[in-house]
């Protein structure tokens, strides 16, 4: 019939990343506050609360286990049960869902500061697969503790609803991208979107970023075929829009790319 199969054969056995060590968040403060995404993420809120140690529960600082996963390893399986809420500290990961026959759709790329999903605060299994693109380290907060925090500190709740709304907007964009945009638009769009998110985190130098994702990732994120992604990327290069060398992406003609993306 013509079904685009998954583009990435999964040869990894079920293998939960072990908690390497447990720390309380405060003791890691220095480390966290130097994180790329510090101000964006829940982490900042959590740590600041732990610091301004005034009322009841702040006396008991939030415990997070730090975990590390090598590149290309599965971090969590669709129906894996977990009592922890993970937030990325370093590296890139993907969340995706798959059809039984292997077709796969990447829902988002996870960057430092991202929770796997906002809903992970309330659900024990996300229904999604999370995979490391590069080596990844993430912090896993105990869900029950984080929830207690949530009810205790209105600002945390507020932060959460805000990021929920953000997430919804991204979903909406994803839907219209996949449903109604051409291949070039989707690919240009995803590049620009990633650039934005990276630059918010201070992870760009001028117009270039380290760009660890493979073409098959782009394919799975855009609902296209790796071959076709390749052709369109070549076209972008030919037209002087971008340049990719050595896992580094640089945008040569931002306006041009924006125009191709047909952005909002």
Partner DNA sequence: CGGGCAATTGAAATACATCAAGGCGTGTGG
Partner DNA sequence: CCACACGCCTTGATGTATTTCAATTGCCCG
Q: Which residues bind DNA (CB under 7 A)?
A: 1-5, 8-9, 11, 72, 182-184, 214-216, 223-228, 230-231, 233-234, 244
Of the residues 2, 30, 54, 59, which one makes contact with a copy of itself according to CB under 8 A: 2
Q: Which is nearer to a copy of itself, 7 or 41 (CB)?
A: 7
210 CB burial (10 A radius; 0-12, 13-18, 19+): middle
Residues 6+ apart with CB under 8 A from 162: none
Distance CA 188, CA 166 (A): 21
Binders of a copy of itself in range 5-34 (CB under 8 A): none
Binders of a copy of itself in range 41-70 (CB under 8 A): none
Binders of a copy of itself in range 177-196 (CB under 8 A): 178-182
Rounded to a whole number of angstroms, the minimum distance from the CB of residue 9 to DNA is: 7
Q: Which is nearer to DNA, 97 or 148 (CB)?
A: 97
The angle subtended at Cα 109 by Cα 104 and Cα 115, nearest 5°, is: 115
Report whether 95 contacts 116 (CB < 8 A).
Answer: yes
DSSP 213-255: --HHHHHHHHT--HHHHHHHHHHHHHTTSEEEETTEEEES-HH
Determine the 3-state secondary structure of 260 from DSSP: helix
Of the residues 16, 19, 165, 227, which one makes contact with a copy of itself according to CB under 8 A: 165
DSSP 6-24: -SS---PPP-PPPEEEEEE
Q: Running DSSP on this structure, what letter comes out for residue 207?
A: T
Q: Which span (29-37, 99-107, 239-247, 251-259) binds a copy of itself, by CB under 8 A?
A: 99-107
Q: Which is nearer to DNA, 11 or 13 (CB)?
A: 11
Rounded to a whole number of angstroms, the minimum distance from the CB of residue 254 to DNA is: 21
Of the residues 117, 189, 216, 218, which one makes contact with a copy of itself according to CB under 8 A: 117
Tell me if 103 contacts a copy of itself by CB under 8 A: yes
225 CB burial (10 A radius; 0-12, 13-18, 19+): middle
Q: Which is nearer to a copy of itself, 47 or 107 (CB)?
A: 107
> Residue numbers of the site for a copy of itself (CB under 8 A)?
1-4, 97-101, 103-105, 107, 117, 119, 122-123, 127-128, 161, 164-165, 168-169, 171-172, 174-176, 178-182, 222-223, 262, 264
């Amino acid at each position: 019939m013509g079904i685009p199969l998954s583009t990435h054969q999964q040869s990894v056995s079920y293998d939960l990343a072990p908690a390497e060590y447990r720390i309380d968040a405060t003791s890691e403060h220095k480390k966290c506050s130097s994180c790329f995404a510090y101000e964006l993420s829940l982490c900042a809120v959590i740590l600041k609360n732990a610091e301004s140690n005034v009322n009841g529960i702040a006396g008991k600082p939030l415990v997070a286990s730090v975990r590390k996963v090598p590149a290309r390893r599965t971090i969590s399986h669709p129906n894996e049960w977990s009592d922890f809420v993970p937030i990325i500290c370093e590296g890139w990961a993907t969340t995706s869902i798959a059809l039984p026959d292997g077709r796969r759709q990447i829902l988002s790329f996870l960057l430092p500061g991202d929770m796997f999903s906002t809903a992970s605060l309330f659900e024990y299994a996300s229904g999604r697969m999370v995979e490391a693109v590069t080596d990844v380290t993430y912090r896993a907060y105990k869900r029950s503790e984080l929830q207690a925090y949530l009810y205790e500190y209105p600002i945390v709740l507020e932060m959460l609803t805000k990021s929920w709304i953000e997430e919804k907007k991204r979903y909406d964009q994803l839907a219209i991208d996949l449903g109604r945009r051409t291949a070039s638009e989707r690919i240009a769009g995803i590049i620009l979107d990633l650039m934005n998110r990276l630059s918010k985190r201070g992870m760009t130098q001028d117009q270039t970023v380290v760009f660890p994702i493979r073409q098959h990732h782009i394919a799975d994120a855009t609902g296209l075929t790796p071959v076709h992604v390749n052709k369109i990327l070549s076209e972008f290069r030919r037209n002087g829009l971008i340049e990719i060398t050595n896992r580094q992406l640089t945008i040569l003609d931002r306006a041009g790319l924006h125009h191709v993306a047909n952005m909002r």
